[in-house]
Amino acid sequence: MKNNIIGRVVEFHKQYYIVESDNCLYKCYIKGKKNDATIGDWVKVTQESYDKNCIVNILDRRNIFYRSDKNKIKKLAANIDHVIIIVATKPEFSTETIANIILESFRSKIDVTIVLNKDDLKEDLSKSIEKINAVKPEEIKIITLSAKYLNNQDINNKLMPILNNRTTLLVGQSGMGKSTIINRLVPSANAATNEYSKHLGTGRHTTSYTKIYKLNFENSFIIDSPGIQEFSIGHIKLNEIDNGFPEFKNFIDECQFYNCTHYHEPFCGVIQAVTDNRIKKTRYSLYKKIIKEYQENKKL
Ligand SMILES: Nc1nc2c(ncn2[C@@H]2O[C@H](COP(=O)(O)OP(=O)(O)OP(=O)(O)O)[C@@H](O)[C@H]2O)c(=O)[nH]1
Ligand SMILES: [Mg+2]
Ligand SMILES: [Zn+2]
């Protein structure tokens, strides 16, 4: 290796990274204790000794996608163009998680699509679609498919339009089928997949590291990541939460208080619009639930 190279983090493991530069892969460690780089980062790597490369610098990020848990803010990926939230007819998925991922995509200004996988399990299909429709804003698309039986026509019609010419991060709970989709799109990937029932509730997920795969379409990449157990929004500001509710925008001007949270204030344009059925009640209830939980978590 030359003494200094610039490359992209294409694999993120617990203890090390794989950085790609000029079609070569380098196993790298972080210098010092600070574990700062994430998948998608462009980094500077130096050779510390004959068998050890270190990431010494992270180049400026175009964007970054976070999630929070009770203790920390975590970086899920950097320099991406698109996020797919993947849910499935089975096992049960959390609508709160979908709502929070949508909020983070609005905060980071990264495009988002919802994929409902396992549509071959027909008995749970309509219930799942209803569940998603109750939480998503109208402008976010749902694509239904079956990763397990995905043929070329499905790939071309359903996935290529949203994956082409961009870097997409797949996020979702364990068992939703992220790695199964990866294996259909990139047959050489050989990503591990597993029956969800075997580890559901045990807190384990099948995929244990994050990896960028190159797709067949030009300049297109897809990122597989371990199933998330908790996607909270502690890193988002309270007054940014309404960005996830674009349908409120037309009514916010009518709020009397400039810092109105549309939660309990009098003379609130949003609350009035809910009363007049100009904003869906289910969406407003979701908003209130998110604000309430957000405030409770901040108190802890
Ligand atoms: N019936 C059906 N099963 C599917 C489909 N897609 C995936 N599965 C199954 O769902 C299980 C979980 O799939 P994975 O791809 O391992 O899920 P994952 O989201 O990568 O899970 P983690 O790596 O734990 O986050 C496996 O047993 C898959 O075979 C589908 O379209 N239909
Ligand atoms: Mg997986
Ligand atoms: Zn208001």
Residue-wise pLDDT for 6-26, tens only, equals 999 999 998 899 999 999 999
Report the C-alpha gap between 199 and 259 in whole angstroms. Answer: 45
Whether 200 shows a pLDDT value over 60: the answer reads no
Whether 197 shows a pLDDT value over 70: the answer reads no
CA nearest 99: which of 196, 281, 200, 242? 242
Exposure string (b/e) for 228-261, b if CB count within 10 Å is 16 or more? beebbbbebeeeebbbbbebbeebbeebeeeebb
Which CATH class for the 64-224 domain? alpha beta
Whether 272 shows a pLDDT value over 70: the answer reads yes
Domain boundaries, the chain: 4-58, 64-224, 238-299
Whether 196 shows a pLDDT value over 80: the answer reads no
Give the number of the atom of ligand 1 that is nearest the alpha carbon of residue 228.
Answer: 25
Mean pLDDT computed over 139-162: 95
Q: How far is the CA of 212 from the centre of ligand 2 (A)?
A: 13
CATH of domain 4-58: 2.40.50.140
Task: Enter the pTM of the model.
Answer: 0.93
* pLDDT tens profile 38-66: 999 999 999 988 888 999 999 999 999 99
CB half-sphere exposure, 109, CA atoms < 13 A: 3
Q: Which two tokens stand for residue 229?
A: 């157990």
The pLDDT of residue 202 = 55
Q: How far is the CA of 97 from the centre of ligand 3 (A)?
A: 25
Identify the architecture of domain 238-299 in CATH: Orthogonal Bundle (1.10)
Contact predicate 54/16, CB 8 Å: no
Range from 181-195, 199-213, 226-240 carrying the lowest mean pLDDT: 199-213
Nearest ligand to residue 90 Cα: 1
Query: Max alpha carbon distance in the chain (Å)?
Result: 70
Q: How far is the CA of 67 from the centre of ligand 2 (A)?
A: 18
Q: How far is the CA of 20 from the centre of ligand 1 (A)?
A: 28
Task: Give me the chain's average pLDDT, please.
Answer: 92
Contact predicate 60/14, CB 8 Å: no
Report the C-alpha gap between 241 and 219 in whole angstroms. Answer: 33
Q: Which residues line ligand 1 (CB under 6 A)?
A: 117-118, 120-121, 146-148, 172, 174-180, 193-196, 205-207, 226-227
Report the C-alpha gap between 280 and 247 in whole angstroms. Answer: 9
